[in-house]
Structure 1
Amino acid sequence: MNPQHSRELFCWHAFQRQSCGSGYDNLVDSFVNLCKGSPLALKVMGAHVSSGEKAYWKLQLDVVKARLHKDIRDTLKISYDALEEDQKQIFNDIVCFFIGERVSTAINIWKASRWRAEHALQTLKDKCLVETILRGGELTFPDTIDYYEPPFYFRMHDHLRDLGRELADNETNHPLRRWRPEDLVLLKLKELYCFLWAGRTDSTQLNKLVSSFGILNNLERLQLNFGKDIFRWNIECNCLLLSVRKLTNLKTLELMYFQLEEEFALSNSGEATDDRFCMGSLEAITLCGAFKTRRVSISGQSCPILKTLKLYSMEDLIEVDVTGVTTLEGLVLNMTELPNFGFVSCLKRICISRCRNLRDISAIEILKGLKRIWIAHCPELESIKAIEQLRRLKRIFINECTELQGVICLEELKPLKSVFIGRCPRLQNIQGIEFLICLESIVINGCPLVQHITGIEKLKGLKQMIFFKDK
């Protein structure tokens, strides 16, 4: 960047305007010269000194001069060194594992580590060390979100990513991170509680990795994400499951874009006396992009405390059997038709997304205990009348169901707290809103035939109302 633009960019992040404050001209010039026109360095250094007085600026200028040399990464490390310990840990997690991943997923993990996740993330954003971007796509269960919140994902400059990964390489304290697939020293560890890995290595190393999972005795979360390389890998599905079953403390299993067989089974059929096949700690399973899988079967004996099952981007899936899993509370489905829900009548949360041929959801009427429902990107769905029978619902999210028509009556859904209905251009009306005494949030967007919602003025507890008629 030229000197003028560099100065303006630095001032925007240091003073929230294009020009500097009174008496700061020389200090600003000094910082701009040291940043040598790098937009990233200008943003990071501007944000770093924005809350300080002149004395602080002069001190930081001396620090930068002493450590900068000619490497821009040293400039970035100055801002990193000023972070608190949990902020550093969260920054390192982002650069190693979460670039391109959903923000809410990472926050839930950090909260489990008792880190101040939201505060730390806001600090990193204020210092321009990380960015979050809005992107459409999958729905998950936003248990920590009271109202509708769009999906945000992490983004980071390559310089910052490289810096963070260098720091992770040199890190000796817990938690230990390994972000390179070929770094098989990971297999010697016994006290690893969170393992996320994006596969970009050859099949020999990968098979070695899979067959060695059993030594990670304390592993609680396992994610294998093969991305666009799904068809490169030559791994026996049974070998993977045998290794995973040895992880007796595993709580979360995520297989992303993995080439599974026609049936994915975690069941004890014929092997009920073998303790290896009882994953007694497993609480959540996610399968995404297993394009050839037609049947998913999980027994209550194998997974006695399973709470959440998420099945994304599985276009050939036609059958789901979780008979005997009486603890299942959350279910995400991408299927042509909905299964018989008699075996999961205890469900509390369900997400039905991208079911291309789905026309009605009458199968969910049996789910009397359902509290949250998400339905999105179902282009043939015409009716959701079954929702009117779910009288314990607290949250409804309906989006991008372009053939949905008629009238939705919510009068009997007294516990409802949140309603989001978006981009349903053929929906004609929403009735019964005035009877929802617990309602706190209602968002109606892109439903041009819904001209007016009667009785909204009677809702004394309403905190959020957004109503857009446009298509």
Structure 2
Amino acid sequence: MEKHKQRMEEETNEEKRNELALKIELWKKSLNQVADLKGKDAKGRKESELIEEVVIDIQRRLRNAMPHLIGVDDEIKLISSGLKIESHHSAEIITVSGASGIGKTSLAKYVFQLHSSQFHKVSFIEGINERCDEKCDGLLDLQKQLLEDISNKILLHATDALEYTSKIENVLASKKIKVKPKHKKVILNGLNESESLELLCIHAFKNHKPKEGYKEVSVKLIKYCEGNPLALKILGRSLQRKDIRDWEACIKMLEKEPRSRINKALKISFDAFLFEDDKELFKHIACFFVGNDRDVTEIILNACDIETRSGIKILIDRGLVSVTGDNRLMMRQSVQEMDKGSLLGLALDTRMLDKKKSCGSFELNTESFNQMDNLMLLQLNYLRLNGPFENLPEELRWLCMHGSPLESIHLDLPMENLVVLDMSYSKMEFFNPQPPAKSQKHLVGSCSKDKPLLGSLKILDLSFCDHLLSLGGFLELPALERLIVRGCKSLFELSESVGHCVELVLIDLSYCHMLRMLPKSIGKLKKVKTLLDGCYVDESQIKTGNMNSSDSLLTLPQKAVYEFVPQNLQHSSSS
């Protein structure tokens, strides 16, 4: 504190000096608050009572930290009354409806946070449409999440939606919970003028009232948002720290659109108030990565020279993108449907074309890609490719082929620049990329015998490949960070060569029921965490194997976690 005080006294700029003085005063107050903190006296008290008291205090603080929703007090009371049921053996369905961006999800999340502490088991699932559309068995993931949230025990992996539905019904029946056929309907309408003005000001000025000199433009602007909270939020955040001229220019653009003013408001906040790099990031997330893991998305787009670290934060701050509790990127449909312009990728998902046809029955000739040299992102879900794979663009960074009929990886596929390969739900039987003999060198294009076939690959996802038997060829994947083979029910072999992937941080082998042994070389990996939920790997092999890294972790069924003990400490640890 003395150093900061000295710095303040030496500062000649009056404005900076005042800022430093204010900071020092805030620090003093904070330090005094910390000094006055008192713990709870546990002497002579039951531990359970003390824990309950701490939990109640934390819940109170969390409720106080909840965001304030504007204009929906009556709706909150109505929904809350439905949760105060006469008997805990019954439950009602409450449907919230309204236009896109009107606040349905925000209302549901608020009520959930408000009352979740009153129930022993709770579950909140959002982005259902996006997550179901993302992959063929997306519904299974949602049902699994619900089942794990409401059940008291570890549940076996189910292979289809009907099986999960049966398990969910059994859990509800065991708790004697019945869902009534009658349900309440809550219809959300737009905010009135005063509510709209307050919401706009919160996001534009971080205040409940307009900044001095901005009241007139604020009142004009809210008329074009038609009481839509999403439009008010995004437009308000876009106009933060903008002068009056920017506000007036925004109003003039809205005046030119007598129809679809809400969509125009969203479009203006995108076109006028984002840098080009952020626009590029937004467009590619909207087209390819809604519902996807944020970390994986960042790896892919960084490889395409699209800045993500600060860009995603900016999009979140503007209200254009949100991140769920399990780290998935989400986007409102009305925002997602804005004009995208040019992109670095192509996405084809035949499930959206004709649901009567079976997955993989659509065909595409690889010659279609001959003129797409700059393509970096390619999604070809449930599609059969005809022709040589060398026709695919060499600049590919992300290749997603869910439901592919391929039984093994084609060596003429351009793989040198790939950072993510996702072939979940495919017919793959063996994954063992090996460089061909010299006489066959022409088959791999630019790949030489000294250069790994998949030298840039960081993520390999072969989840739910029911026919996959073995995994190998890891010498060709030196940069691999994540190996994901969840739910490969026929997998029985993982090659020892996996030990050469020194950058591995995750190996997910959950629900690979036929896998009995793990390669000892996993113990050489310093960063890796291995997930084995639903597997039957011999625990004695794990405890006494040749494991040289104390950082390696295994997560086994029954939520057990085994930490690999270094060889030189194995004998002493047994005591």
Name the TM-score class by shorter chain. Answer: 0.5 to 0.7
Q: Distance in 2 between matches of 1:84 and 1:317?
A: 45
Structure 1 residue 264 corresponds to structure 2 residue 408: yes
Does residue 424 of structure 2 align to residue 246 of structure 1?
A: no
Residue in 2 that maps onto 1:333: 485
Q: Among residues 521, 526, 529, which one is paired with 1:366 in the alignment? A: 521
**Residue of structure 2 aligned with 1:298, choices 433, 447, 455:** 433
Describe the shift of the 1:365–1:412 C-alpha distance in structure 2 as closer, same or farther (beyond 3 A). Answer: same
Match of 1:446? none
Distance 1:108-1:278 versus aligned 2 partners, 3 A rule: closer
Is 2:308 the partner of 1:132? Answer: no
Residues in 2 aligned to 1:265 and 1:346: alpha-carbon distance in whole angstroms = 20
Q: Structure 2: which amino acid aligns with 1:10?
A: L
Secondary structure, in 3 states, of the residue corresponding to 1:122? helix
- Residue 6 of structure 2 aligns with which residue? none
Corresponding residue for residue 70 of structure 1: 259
1:404 Cα deviation from its structure 2 partner: 5.0
TM-superposed deviation, 1:56: 4.8
Which of residues 217, 221, 232 is equivalent to 1:31? 221
Q: Distance in 1 between matches of 2:361 and 2:514?
A: 41
TM-aligned CA distance change 1:48 to 1:345, over 3 Å:
closer
Name the CA distance, whole Å, in 1 between partners of 2:492 and 2:348: 32
Residues 162 and 245 of structure 1: CA distance in aligned 2, closer, same or farther (over 3 Å): same
Tell me by how many angstroms 1:87 deviates: 1.3
Where do residues 163-312 of structure 1 align in structure 2 (5 Å cutoff)?
A: 163-165=338-340, 168=341, 176-177=342-343, 194-199=345-350, 200-201=352-353, 207-208=363-364, 210-226=366-382, 235=384, 239=386, 242-247=387-392, 249-252=394-397, 254-260=399-405, 263-266=407-410, 277=412, 279=414, 281=416, 283-284=418-419, 286-290=421-425, 292-301=427-436, 302=444, 304-307=452-455, 308=457, 309-312=460-463
Aligned residue for 2:462, secondary structure, equals strand
The one-letter amino acid of 2:454's match is L
In structure 1, the residue corresponding to 2:269 is in which secondary structure? helix
Superposed displacement of residue 129, structure 1: 2.1
Checking the alignment, whether the CA contact within 8 Å between 1:295 and 1:318 is kept in structure 2 is: yes
CA 1:70–1:131 in 2, change beyond 3 Å: closer, same or farther? same
Q: Which residue of 2 aligns with 1:121?
A: 312
Instruction: Verify: 1:106 aligned to 2:260, yes or no.
Output: no
TM-aligned CA deviation for residue 68 of structure 1: 4.2
Q: What are structure 1's unaligned runs of at least 5 residues?
A: 136-150, 169-175, 178-192, 227-232, 268-276, 415-430, 433-471
More helix by share: 2
Name the SS for the 1:159 alignment partner. Answer: helix
Would you say the 8 A contact 1:27–1:58 is kept in 2?
yes
1:456-471 to 2 correspondences below 5 Å: none
Secondary structure of residue in 2 paired with 1:78: helix
SS of the residue corresponding to residue 227 of structure 2 reads: coil
Amino acid at match of 1:79: S
8 Å Cα contact 1:354/1:378 also seen in 2: yes
Report the Cα distance in structure 2 between the residues aligned to 1:36 and 1:406, rounded to whole angstroms: 53
Deviation at 1:224, TM superposition (A): 1.5
* CA displacement 1:289-320 (0-9 Å, x = unmatched): 33544333422225743244431122332223
Per-residue deviation at 1:279?
4.4
Residue in 1 that maps onto 2:548: 391
- Judge conservation of contact 2:424–2:465 (CA < 8 Å) in 1: yes
On the 8 A contact 1:266/1:297 being kept in 2, the answer is no
Q: Does 1:314 align with 2:490?
A: no
- Cα distance in 2 between the residues matched to 1:377 and 1:164: 43
**% of aligned pairs identical?**
17
Match of 2:232 in 1: 42
Tell me by how many angstroms 1:86 deviates.
0.8
Quickly say closer, same or farther: Cα 1:299–1:215, change in 2 above 3 A.
farther
* 1:17-49 Cα deviation digits (max 9, x unpaired): 544445654443322222111222111121122
Match of 2:500 in 1: 346
Matched, 1:95 2:286: yes
1: distance between equivalents of 2:480 and 2:399? Answer: 17
CA distance in 1, matches of 2:334, 2:523: 52
Amino acid at match of 1:158: Q
Cα distance, 1:366 vs. partner?
2.1
Shift of 1:221: 4.4
For the pair shown, the structure with the greater C-alpha radius of gyration is 2
Query: Any idea what SS the aligned residue of 1:100 has?
Result: coil
Pick the aligned partner of 1:157 from 332, 336, 357. 332
Structure 2: any 5+ residue segments left out of the alignment? 1-189, 437-443
Q: How many residues align?
A: 351
1:243 deviation in Å? 3.2
Is the Cα contact below 8 Å between 1:388 and 1:410 reproduced in 2? no
Contact 1:87/1:120 (<8 A) preserved? yes
How many angstroms apart in 2 are the aligned matches of 1:18 and 1:326?
A: 55
SS at the partner of 1:75? helix
Q: CA deviation at 1:58?
A: 4.7
Could you tell me how far 1:365 is from its partner in structure 2?
A: 1.5
Check whether the contact 1:369–1:390 (CA below 8 A) recurs between aligned residues.
yes
TM-score (norm 1): 0.62
Show the counterpart of 2:275: 84
1:306 aligned counterpart, secondary structure: coil
The more displaced of 4-13 and 20-29 is 20-29
Is the Cα contact below 8 Å between 1:248 and 1:280 reproduced in 2?
no
Aligned-partner residue type, residue 257 of structure 1: H
CA 249–371 in structure 1, closer or farther in 2 if over 3 Å, else same: farther
Deviations 1:345-370 (A, max 9, x none): 4122151232343786x523124642
For 2:368, the aligned partner's letter is S
Give the direction of change, closer, same or farther, for the CA distance of 1:344–1:374 in structure 2 (3 Å limit). Answer: closer
**Greater strand content:** 1
Distance (Å, rounded) in 1 between the aligned partners of 2:568 and 2:388: 46
Whichever residue aligns with residue 408 of structure 1, its letter is E
The residue number in structure 1 matching 2:159 is: none
